[in-house]
Amino acid sequence: MSVLVTGASGFIGLNIVEALLERGDDVVAFSDAAMPERARSAFGALRGRCVEATGDVRDQGSVSKLFETHSPRLVVHAAALTPGSQTERAMTAAAVEVNVLGTVRILEAAARDRIERVVLLSSAAVYGESGFGAEPLDEGQTPPRPLTTYGVTKYAAERLGLRYAEKAGLPCVAARLAAAFGPWERDTGVRETLSPFYQALRIARLGGEVVVARRAALDWIYSRDAASAILALLDRRATEPAVVNVSPGFTTEFSAFCAALARRHAGFRWRVAPGEDATVDLHGARDRTPLATARLLREVGWSPRFDAESAFRDYFGWVERHDGPE
């Protein structure tokens, strides 16, 4: 069965494409940028078949042609702009166009072609100011109060997309993804919010020192697990619940990753030093409350394959095989 993945050359998009190909699906990888050559080479050895298509999710003609040419039956919509604090003012219009209008364009084509199921990638960023309480962030109980341009546009895309899908009779689910790290993350010059894990690996490669203000405990999800959860949502035929948190269900300290990295790379230096100039951006002064995962476990039947230590080992091995990070 043919699966369309938008944003296929992005961090999470590449992990989703890889997971689909590993299980033998045919994939249409759609993006505004070419797939990295190392990914193209690695994916060529997998069971499934991948066809690349280049275009812009904002362009109705490009999206219509995409569906007409490739006739996908399932869609994972992962295309997004993720401006951070340094670029969000300049990128506000573009973020609205890609994250909101792009979602509508994909759903218009999906409804016209009677696509069997669509998974929209949303984000934990939609919880915003509600994300710092004592209780896990629940899809049905915690009110979204996004703070950033990215969070606002993802929430708008989620709500508008689900409403459109409901009116069009299109099976659709929104996946609120926790912050991710792992294989295929790279610095494209567009994505400002690179994970602390990627930043630390790059600093280690350059012989520098990681300095952070806190130990930073968050429910980071390993990118291979994120892809696995998205595939589980894609395979599930029930239409409810329409919104599902995607998180490993446990927190990991960034400092634990640094300690593991130090054990693997002699000479790597890191320290927690509040008040000093940090060399790794933790993306905010506070750690968000973990996402609730009862719905993901109960309704979808998914649980993570990797715990923190096995994720670190797998990631280090991947980095060595691919001579990363870029």
Handedness of CA 175, 180, 184, 188 (dihedral sign): positive
Residue 246 has a pLDDT of: 98
- CA nearest neighbour of 242 among 300, 290, 297: 300
Q: Dig out the tokens for 285 from the structure.
A: 């002064």
The predicted model scores a pTM of 0.96
Q: Which residues make Cβ contacts (< 8 Å) with residue 4, sequence separation at least 6?
A: 27, 28, 30, 66, 67, 70, 72, 74, 75, 76
- Read off the pLDDT band of 191 (50, 70, 90): low
Q: Which residues make Cβ contacts (< 8 Å) with residue 24, sequence separation at least 6?
A: 47, 48
Residue 311 dihedral angles phi and psi, to the nearest 5°: -65, -45
Is the confidence at residue 1, as pLDDT, over 80? no
* Residues 104, 140: Cα–Cα separation, whole Å: 24
pLDDT digits (tens, 9 = 90+) for 230-242: 999 999 988 789 9
Average pLDDT, the chain: 94
Residue 183 has a pLDDT of: 97
* Residues 151, 168: Cα–Cα separation, whole Å: 25
* Residues 271, 210: Cα–Cα separation, whole Å: 6
Q: What domains are there in the chain, each with its CATH number? A: 2-179+222-246+290-305 (3.40.50.720)
